[in-house]
Amino acid sequence: MRRHYLVTYDIADAKRLRRVFKTMKGFGAHLQLSVFQCDLPDIDLVQMKAALTEIIHQEEDQVLIIDLGPTESHPVKRIESLGIKAEWEERRSRVI
């Protein structure tokens, strides 16, 4: 089954940034500066993660992979971060 993914990245080194960009062009559509939309089967997702993991520096770079769900629907299911841990704000209710 194919799934939609939104992949964004923040790479600290220009050489690694170019390598990540070239790698991502093989997996999806370039939407804006460091954002790609990918429509991938499971095996391609594994290959993409492996290729990116070999390029990035875990302590300096970050790649976010946002699972948008099966290709026939578009709800956001999960957000995954490679490299620098993503800081997610906890949503809280406000009474006004």
**What value, to the nearest 5°, has the Cα angle with vertex 26 and ends 46 and 84?**
55
Q: For the whole prediction, is pTM greater than 0.85?
A: no
Angle, to 10 degrees, between the axis of helix 14-25 and the axis of helix 42-55?
170
Q: Between 4 and 96, name the one with better pLDDT.
A: 4
* Tokens of residue 10, six digits: 């923040």
- What pLDDT does residue 69 have? 85
Looking at the predicted structure, is the pLDDT value of residue 96 above 90? no
- What pLDDT does residue 72 have? 73
Q: What is the mean pLDDT of residues 2-11?
A: 93
pLDDT, tens digit, for every residue of 19-64? 999 999 999 988 889 999 898 999 999 999 999 999 999 999 999 9
Domain boundaries, the chain: 24-63
